[in-house]
Structure 1
Amino acid sequence: MSPDHSPLEQIHEVIQTHNPFRRELTVRQQEVWGTGFPDVPSINAHASDAVFEAIENVRSGSRQVMGITLLADPGGGKTHLISRIRHRLQANGGAWFIYMDQYANLNQISLEFLKTLATSLKKTGSKNVMQWQELAANLVNHAEAEQDRPEEIVEKVQSLENPAAYIEALTDCILDLHPDIENPDLVKAILWTLSKNKHYAINWLSGRSLAQNRAEQMQLANPSEEQRENEIFEMSCQILDLVSYYNPLVICFDRFDSQEVNDAGYTRLQVVADFCMDLYDKLKKGVLITAVYPEIWITQLKAMTNPKAIEDRIAERKIDLDVLDGDSAFNLIGTYLSEFYQQKNLTPPHPVYPFDRDRLIELGKQKAIARNILKWCRDNWSLPNADSGSQDREPQQNPVESALNNEIEQVEADSLLDNEAKIAKSLRFCFERLVGFYLENVTIKEIEKVNPPNKYVDFKIVGEENGQMVKIGIAVLQASGGTTVTAGLSHLGNYQKYDLTRGCLVRSKEVSPNARRAREYLNRLLQEQGGEWVTLKFEEIKPLVAIAEVYDGREDYGLSDTQIFDYIAETKFVETNPLILEILSDPSGQIPDDVEEDN
């Protein structure tokens, strides 16, 4: 942009080369936790005001729990409203924020919630530290009758040569203050989040086992994930009890548009609604928010055996979100453009330049949803009175590619590589796109569940290889604890029970040499049974998870199955992925040399 040009000419140069509405217009997890979309507080103020009123009622003790359901069609602003709530709480404090929009395994919703709880509390709260650390600091101050800032407490604990002794002594004191907490290790693990071992502590709090030497160092009990299964919901409730002692909870459940069902035939909404009813009955201080399409709410809730009981709890207050009117459409676009022009250090002739104010108001009067108004702006972004073909515009991006890039930006290595259910679900989705393909000498015939159902062998690939039937069992196994790894490998190697001809372990980290039984099963799988160990690499699984997330959120993105499947086929997105090809390739019979140390 030339500094010699007039201000209006500079604006026109920017308009010709930059479209502020080109960004993906679907609000996803990244916008809830990150910077968020531009917000117009007056839009759906009645809904956010109702939420903050409920939080205040819980804080004051006039209510214990409140259930609020937000109802709006796709693009109607549900997740945007949740993002507003999150950002206000982060700025002003006053409540803990939990957000769940991922449901990788509907058969284990309690475990999925515990993982979400641990991940949400890992996010920064109002005190510039993780919410886990904020909670731990509250516990420390309570025990020591101090009022130190969380940052000071984190610095203090991380400077200790032997934090284990300090944490052990504090745990005893805190348990005296909270006698209702049954599991001392729960308190101990929360205190460990103040230390340099915080990531291991959060893994433990999310229901995962640790490598035995790490568990011993942190003086934490290390039951296998199998042993913990019956205690998962109770563990979540004890964490929530401890959290809500210091501030109310705001727990949001989002993204119920999927047609996915669990093994019992219940949809995502039905599984989560039933879980929320149990959570409602257990919570001591909190606001439960569910964000749902009205049609799904009506049809799927009515099909349940106890719709009235569920509605009385989680939809104690149902709030319909508004479509836009003329003024709100104008204010929305003005807010977007204000941010855009400020970033470019430019002052436009009027707030919605280059659009016509009256045209935007007219669009708003048609009762459009925000996403459709923003799409109109994206498609009509041009100089005033310009010939649409005369400008050097940014090239139109395939809508699937736009959604895919949005999802790729949200995939985080730390959280993804520990999420076995999401990885397995994404791999299965991608292999289903390859039925009929011939890759690595395998003609893929079918993708099946294993029978009998099993938590370790995620699915199997049925095909033909060199004229012989092949049935490859896929096990994504990222656990650290020796007991869990042993159990997983024993099932993967049981070819007769699960009707397999080959077992494929997908794992990023070593199997500890100290886990003797696990190593025996591993050696048998690789050296005697023709099995394979494929190294799970973040850069290879990331795009596969992202495209599966695009499919899962296709209604939010306004995409059809055909659009997504055509994009996958045209770009050879799945069939050229190195992880996919390695799973299908001839087994080497060797332990990979590029796995990470498991500490």
Structure 2
Amino acid sequence: MISDEQRIALEAVSFNPAVTPDDVWRPSPHNVPELHEKVAAEILRGVARARTDDTSMPLGVAMQGRAGAGKTHLLGAVRERIQRDGGYFFLVDMVSGKTFWESVALALVEGMGRAHVGWGTQLKTFLRRLTPQLGLPMEVRDAVAGAQPVTRAQLDTFIRALRERDREVGRDAQDTARALVLHGATDFEAQDVGYAHLISEPGDPAARAAWGLSVAIRTPQQVVQDISRLMALTLDPTVIAVDQLDTLFAQTSTSLLNHHQGLEDGQAKMLGPIADGLLKLRDITRRTLVVVSCLPDTWVLMTRSAPTPVGDRFRTSTLPDRIPTPEIGQAIVAKRLAAAFAGPRFVPPHPTWPIAPAAFADAPTLTPRALLRRVDRHIAWCRDHHEVVELDRLVDGADSTPTVRAVRGAAGDPTTDERRLHELDARFAELVEAADVSAAVDPAGEDEHMPPLLAAGLAAWIAEQAPTGATYKYDPPPGRKPALHGRLIEVLDEATENEAHWCFRAIAHPNAVAVTARVKAACTLAGLDRDLPQRRLILLRNGPWPTGKRTTEVLAGFDAAGGLRCAVPEADLRVFAALRVMATEPSTALQEWLVARRPASGTELFRAVLPGPDGTRGAAPPTTPDDGEPPSGGSDSDPTNVPVADVADGPSTGSTAAPVPADPAAVAISAGGPAVGLGQTADGGHPFTVPLESLRRHAVVFAGSGSGKTVLIRRLVEECAREGVSAIVLDPNNDLARLGDAWPEPPSGWGPGDAERATDYLAHTEVVVWTPRVTAGRPLSFQPLPDFTSLRDWPDEFDQAVRSAVEALAPRAGVDRSSRLAQQGKAVLTEALQAYARSGMVGLPGFTEFLADLPEGVSRLTRAGKLAEELAEALKAAMVTDPLFGGVGAPADPGLLLTPSPGRRARVSVISFVGLTSDQERQSFVNQLQMALFAWIKRHPAGDRPLGGLFVMDEAQTLAPSTGTTACTASSIALAAQARKYGLGLVFATQAPKGLHNQISGNATTQFFGLLNAPAQIDAARQLAEAKGGRLPDIGLLNSGEFYAAGEGFSFVKVRTPLCLTHHPKAPLTPEEVIARAHSNDGRSG
């Protein structure tokens, strides 16, 4: 049993392994200097050079490290050291290559409001250091530094003295100097004038003139240069750190692939402006060190994309991939625990209790983040089971954590548990009733009071999502006058730091100039861009928006970029206020209560704008009535109606996600709805099931020869078919075409009930084998040109369809290169296809004839006729050499592939590659299939069904490899990123864990790791597992049919998968046998 003293101490432990950029600004008592001493020393040497020489520009530092190595943590430690030594620090969240200078300028403005040793903020510190050098009277110094109201006369005195101190800086930067003083002034209207100038917003011309600002508006680059030159006058160095490049790179790559653009060209277009901006940033600043924090791969791409050698202007410094020594690992944990135990004044038996000192022998195999996660999981286990067991191994193993059976007697009494939930229900209702949130929607108080409310709401919402298995985090409340009031982050792929963001900004100010400046700043910091759908911004306002010309233009741009404007009901804010208080009141039942009651998820705002259980956003945000009154707090928005109204008679019956099973060994996910059984856990024989709905988030199997990978894929397809889910299965090795064959005799590997399951599957599932390019079997092909007829009245959709078709035709026509002649040919191809599609004609043969005799006036190019003839000949040749491109065989309508015949429950369409002899042919075919499938599921979403269909790709690394691109890379990634919205589940299987594109594996929530033999593949699998918080200690020693599995609602667990329901002998089918099955009526043998 655990003592009360120990329980209180463990409840005080709250690790945060994955810090956010905002954590850089918070004091950290956890820093272990030895962990990153070489990189930190390199940065500090650069700072020293910036301090001592105002004329030279020190080389920047490119700080590289893998995910979890501690890059952001190191920036926080460096920030503390620099500020303690008198310097300034700014952090740039690089959200878009298109807005490099806007992002840097806003980072400097935002950073001015961050805390600094001495005078409170960096802005006050800078002004307090500068004004004594100018010989100003004390009353002017106080006014300029914001200690008392400033007047126009005092501001003029400051500028005159500045120009006398440095004629050049005073002349060029005088408007920015005025704006900085106004930004820190006590008067709110003066603050708005200064803020508008600093973000290059025109603002109110009369107000600018009243404070002595000129008519000219400084560009963001000029503002950055002005601020740097002004701060250099204090003779103190500045560090500008650029972070989030990896997130931007990952998000932009996804967007490019969704639009079927070339990866290398798209990356260059995105990274090129950033690389150029970094070079110019170093050139225009004074006494400034530029630090870039990124993954090694991102820096390599950056150096390739730069217009000039960026590598010559930066020193590279790499963080270690793993913790260097056991002693450093021990120090990391000891410092964290010491800070946590200081509150309850608990004296542990030793500094790392409840982690045994001997356990840190494993520390050099982990990243700092992985170490903290392992410790956090063990402490959570001790709390949940009311027992302290010292962890003596950091790697997962039989002796790392007691089995559930050993502690099952410690489980709580259901009556006691329900009573604790009722107590929290009552406390919640009491706090909601008493909450006063008026200051959060007041213009004078929103910057101070709205961020902590949103932070509390987002923290609770994240806790409520625990059963989904998704990884979320949120930005802590920001500093003074923030551009954003809250940000939710979903970690899509930790290895590449790919994230989805939901940003919030409340704007209650009635003044149009103030509103415009706030909207613009929020858009910049959020990175709002139609081309980056993973960046979302929600503006909150309970009254009408100003209707001035400039404000209307800015809001129209905001709407066009994909932003959302909505009201925030008072009832929602009262919920957030209550949750904020409850988070400060220790309760072991709070997490369970949040998952069971879901108060934050039940708010009108979060229901509308945040992902639902299926990963989709709500239908519509709460809108402001036309009369400008805030939404009423009716019954629909009453937070107490969500869970509390039901608790009097028992647990809530509302739409809530089920909690994680209390028994982690029984990983049958209780999320409700149908599930498929895939074996038993290895440690206790408990059923292992996966809900159908979780497969919307896709699955991936990493396993080699002899692992049982094919059997697992077959059983998954079979069980899904038994639940009425049809599947398309790619069969590159002829070992999946037997999905319609019964076993000659019941195999010994079947478990109880498998014979009945096999009979049910075979009786209600039709298996059809397709053989592209083999007419003797069941040929399958695609029409290379879509029917544009239905799109002619929809300009945007029509244009997008034409562009997509041109991109597909260009390689076949030989105009996909960058030469002048190829670009002219592509232009003629585009103009001709637009005219052909508008005419109502369809089909590729007709289009080639149209090109061969191009009508007058179709193209603006002088040589259009000659070029069109050459295009026609090239396309005709492609149709001859590639029958699939020519359209021979049944059109590959996904509806045909996924729709069972009457009387059958599901159809399994096995697409054999026996007729596609080269990788290029297979990739081209799969690309066309995926594009057609993507279009089909958008027209036929799953709706209320848990899963609409399954698409299985074996040997996926040949279709979407991690390096280079194939004809189907873009469509594979687009499908992986978007298909779950419409209910299509994807299953990827590969023998090469790092050979599959990371945006494929990163989008797969359910993961299976089976036997691997090659040391390189074993190491790659272990790295992927670590990124998901798991360990694979015996991945090279697994038996056939044994897998480590992780997914929604459960972490890594070893499972034994069952034998498939259909015949699976050792030898695959011969090509002739595959063709025979395809030629038969239903695809079955015999």
Contact 1:68 1:290 in 2 (8 A): yes
What's the CA shift string for 1:114-169, capped at 9, x where partnerless?
111111122122223221222222332121167x799x825985435x62211112
Please state how far the C-alpha of 1:11 moved relative to its aligned partner.
4.0
Contact 1:136 1:193 in 2 (8 A): no
Instruction: Name 1:122's counterpart in structure 2.
Output: 113
> How much is the aligned-residue C-alpha RMSD, in angstroms?
4.7
Instruction: Evaluate the alpha carbon distance shift between residue 40 and residue 84 of structure 1 in structure 2; reply closer, same or farther with a 3 A threshold.
Output: same
Out of 136, 139, 142, the position equivalent to 1:153 is 142
Instruction: Name 1:331's counterpart in structure 2.
Output: 331
1:54-453 residue pairs with structure 2 within 5 A? 54-61=46-53, 64-90=57-83, 92-103=84-95, 105-144=96-135, 153=142, 158-160=147-149, 163-181=151-169, 182-197=172-187, 199-200=191-192, 201-212=194-205, 214-221=207-214, 228=218, 231-246=219-234, 247-258=236-247, 259-261=250-252, 265-266=266-267, 269-298=271-300, 300-304=301-305, 306=307, 309-313=309-313, 315-321=314-320, 323-324=322-323, 325-360=325-360, 362-366=361-365, 368-381=366-379, 382=382, 383-384=388-389, 387=402, 389=404, 390=407, 398=466, 404=472, 406-410=473-477, 414-416=481-483
Contact 1:139 1:174 in 2 (8 A): no
Contact 1:413 1:538 in 2 (8 A): no
Instruction: Evaluate the alpha carbon distance shift between residue 399 and residue 221 of structure 1 in structure 2; reply closer, same or farther with a 3 A threshold.
Output: farther
What's the CA shift string for 1:439-477, capped at 9, x where partnerless?
xxxxxxxxxxxxxxxxxxxxxxxxxxxxxxxxxxxxxx9
CA distance in 1, matches of 2:136, 2:120: 21
Instruction: Name 1:445's counterpart in structure 2.
Output: none
**Identical-pair percentage:** 13
The one-letter amino acid paired with 2:131 is: V
Quick check: 264-273 or 38-47, which moved more? 264-273
CA distance in 2, matches of 1:273, 1:43: 29
CA distance in 1, matches of 2:306, 2:92: 24
CA distance in 2, matches of 1:275, 1:343: 46
Which secondary structure state, in structure 1, belongs to the residue aligned with residue 59 of structure 2? strand
Q: What is the aligned length?
A: 465
What's the CA shift string for 1:188-229, capped at 9, x where partnerless?
122324521364223432323434564354333466xxx65x
What's the CA shift string for 1:555-597, capped at 9, x where partnerless?
xxxxxxxxxxxx9231777306634xx39xxxx7x463459xx
What's the CA shift string for 1:304-345, capped at 9, x where partnerless?
1546x21111x2243334521211111111111111111210
Instruction: Evaluate the alpha carbon distance shift between residue 286 and residue 206 of structure 1 in structure 2; reply closer, same or farther with a 3 A threshold.
Output: same
Contact 2:159 2:174 in 1 (8 A): yes
Instruction: Evaluate the alpha carbon distance shift between residue 112 and residue 345 of structure 1 in structure 2; reply closer, same or farther with a 3 A threshold.
Output: same
Contact 2:184 2:191 in 1 (8 A): no
Instruction: Evaluate the alpha carbon distance shift between residue 87 and residue 479 of structure 1 in structure 2; reply closer, same or farther with a 3 A threshold.
Output: farther
1:519-558 residue pairs with structure 2 within 5 A? 534-535=565-566, 537=568
CA distance in 1, matches of 2:285, 2:58: 7
CA distance in 1, matches of 2:630, 2:336: 46
The one-letter amino acid paired with 1:344 is: P
CA distance in 2, matches of 1:34, 1:403: 22
Quick check: 124-133 or 110-119, which moved more? 124-133
Instruction: Evaluate the alpha carbon distance shift between residue 68 and residue 156 of structure 1 in structure 2; reply closer, same or farther with a 3 A threshold.
Output: closer
CA distance in 2, matches of 1:354, 1:533: 47
CA distance in 2, matches of 1:280, 1:343: 44
CA distance in 1, matches of 2:37, 2:64: 14
Is 1:31 the equivalent of 2:23? Answer: yes
Please state how far the C-alpha of 1:235 moved relative to its aligned partner.
2.1
The one-letter amino acid paired with 2:377 is: D
Contact 2:474 2:486 in 1 (8 A): no
1:2-41 residue pairs with structure 2 within 5 A? 9-14=3-8, 18=11, 20=13, 22-36=14-28, 38-41=30-33
Instruction: Evaluate the alpha carbon distance shift between residue 149 and residue 374 of structure 1 in structure 2; reply closer, same or farther with a 3 A threshold.
Output: farther
Please state how far the C-alpha of 1:240 moved relative to its aligned partner.
0.8
TM-score (norm. length: structure 2): 0.38
What's the CA shift string for 1:246-271, capped at 9, x where partnerless?
21111101122222339993466543
Contact 1:430 1:574 in 2 (8 A): no
The one-letter amino acid paired with 1:14 is: I
Instruction: Name 1:592's counterpart in structure 2.
Output: 628
Instruction: Name 1:51's counterpart in structure 2.
Output: 43
Which secondary structure state, in structure 2, belongs to the residue aligned with residue 45 of structure 1? helix
The one-letter amino acid paired with 2:287 is: K
Instruction: Name 1:434's counterpart in structure 2.
Output: none
Quick check: 231-240 or 132-141, which moved more? 132-141
Instruction: Name 2:589's counterpart in structure 1.
Output: none
Instruction: Name 1:438's counterpart in structure 2.
Output: none
For structure 2, list consecutive stretches of 5 or more residues without a partner in the other structure.
257-264, 383-387, 391-400, 418-462, 490-499, 503-508, 521-529, 531-537, 557-562, 576-609, 632-1086
Structure scoring higher RCO (CA < 8 A, sep ≥ 6) equals 1
The one-letter amino acid paired with 2:276 is: D
The one-letter amino acid paired with 1:320 is: L
CA distance in 2, matches of 1:252, 1:378: 30
1:423-502 residue pairs with structure 2 within 5 A? 480-481=512-513
Which secondary structure state, in structure 2, belongs to the residue aligned with residue 569 of structure 1? coil
The one-letter amino acid paired with 1:66 is: L
Higher Rg: 2
Instruction: Evaluate the alpha carbon distance shift between residue 344 and residue 591 of structure 1 in structure 2; reply closer, same or farther with a 3 A threshold.
Output: same
Contact 2:241 2:292 in 1 (8 A): yes
Please state how far the C-alpha of 1:31 moved relative to its aligned partner.
1.3
The one-letter amino acid paired with 2:378 is: N
Contact 2:114 2:480 in 1 (8 A): no
The one-letter amino acid paired with 2:628 is: P
The one-letter amino acid paired with 2:179 is: A
